[in-house]
Amino acid sequence: MEYEGTQLGLLIGILEFLASILSLTFNSVLIYILVNKMKLTQSDTVISFILCILDSIYSLFSLFNMPLIWATNYSIIKTSTAYCQLNGFVFGIMGISIVETIMVLGVLRYLAICKGKLLKIRTWVIIEVLLVQANVGLGLYTGLTNSYEVQPSLKYCASNPISPVARIVYGILVIISVISVIIIIFSYLSIAKHYRSYIKGIKKQNSEFINLEKLKSSLEVQQRSISSSELVHDFANAERKVINSIKKLYLMLSIYLLQIVPYLTLQAVYKLSNSGVQGEVIDNLVAFLAHFLPLTNPLFILFFHEETNIELKHVLVINWYRFKKMFYK
């Protein structure tokens, strides 16, 4: 475990620290937009708001955790049982809760887009609160039984259950995480499939319209020709927007899987082999990817979600205008 002096560990720690600062910045902007501009009037915005809160807690603890570890030359996380349990509890429970909230958002969007079903905001909030409460309860038990232990990267602690009950609790958390990932994959792939079907419908309508126009071409007046051209252009724009949405879905899903799956896989492999996480380099890299979740979440919502992206542009334009007005009166 004599790893604190390596350049890779220090470099990744600094990058994670900077990522936490960026995460807090973007989550603060998103919270402002969701609360002040969008007024939390839709289920999607409310769950996104909860996700921002979880991301912010995770990032705040990261900002507190890394300087403390550096200041004590890594001794606090290696020698303090209390801090190790606190570290494992916050990172573990917040991490699982963030993944579950991503899952809830995926299911919410799947039902709205693919099935046309809109549940009440209260229903989604109750589901989210119950999931987080369950995670906190299981995480507290793990911490009180001192089941968290420091990992080779010396930046976070993970559960290493010894007692039968602790192993059951750990198994439940793993099952929850795996199910959440599967549901995330299913939800966004189903949405992408729905969009592809929509594109086929657009192309079919466009083709039928063009064929109809050709049959009527001898009777068309100039004004009608202009209207027809505009309608064909509208079809093309609609198709382009849907294709862009599909690409964003695939990109978002790929990044989520890259951040979540390696960490879960690494922990599962070494728990099953009863040898603990081995290798400082691989642990550092896997943790590095997982710790970027609180940053990618607000970026996806701000730039991949059309409504929040429009509000973001409005906020930037207004503040840029105010900034210019201060200096160019």
Share above pLDDT 70 across residues of the chain, in percent, rounded to a whole number? 87
Confidence band for 1, pLDDT divided at 50, 70 and 90:
very low
pLDDT attached to residue 266: 86
pLDDT attached to residue 324: 78
Q: Structural domain of residue 53, as residue ranges?
A: 7-180+274-327
pLDDT attached to residue 240: 86
Domain CATH number, residue 132: 1.20.1070.10
pLDDT tens profile 66-76:
999 999 999 99
Whole-structure pTM over 0.75, yes or no?
A: yes
How many distinct structural domains can be found in the chain? 1
Are 43 and 124 a contacting pair, CB within 8 Å? yes
The whole-angstrom separation of Cα 159 and Cα 170 is: 7
3 pLDDT above the threshold of 60: no
The secondary structure element, H or E, covering residue 210 is helix 164-215
28 pLDDT above the threshold of 50: yes
- Tell me, yes or no, whether 246 lies in a domain: no
What number of CA atoms fall less than 13 Å from residue 311's CA on the CB side?
A: 18
pLDDT tens profile 89-114:
999 999 999 999 999 999 999 999 99
- Tell me, yes or no, whether 320 lies in a domain: yes
Residue for token pair 């979600």: 305
Residue 243 sits at the vertex; the CA angle it makes with 240 and 244, to the nearest 5 degrees, is: 85
Confidence band for 276, pLDDT divided at 50, 70 and 90:
low
- Tell me, yes or no, whether 190 lies in a domain: no
Flag the least confident range among 123-132, 252-261, 271-280, 317-326. Answer: 271-280
Using DSSP's 3-state secondary structure scheme, residue 316 falls into: helix
The Cα-based distances of 115 to 2, 93, 136, 185 in angstroms read 54, 31, 32, 17
- Tell me, yes or no, whether 20 lies in a domain: yes
- Tell me, yes or no, whether 59 lies in a domain: yes
- Tell me, yes or no, whether 23 lies in a domain: yes
Q: Among candidates 32, 31, 9, 12, which has minimal Cα distance to 20?
A: 12
- β-partners of residue 158 are 149
Flag the least confident range among 21-25, 208-212, 272-276, 293-297. Answer: 208-212
The whole-angstrom separation of Cα 226 and Cα 220 is: 10
pLDDT attached to residue 271: 77
pLDDT attached to residue 207: 63
pLDDT attached to residue 87: 96
116 against 216, higher pLDDT: 116
Confidence band for 235, pLDDT divided at 50, 70 and 90:
confident
**DSSP strands (E only) in the chain:** 148-150, 157-159
- Tell me, yes or no, whether 137 lies in a domain: yes
- Tell me, yes or no, whether 306 lies in a domain: yes
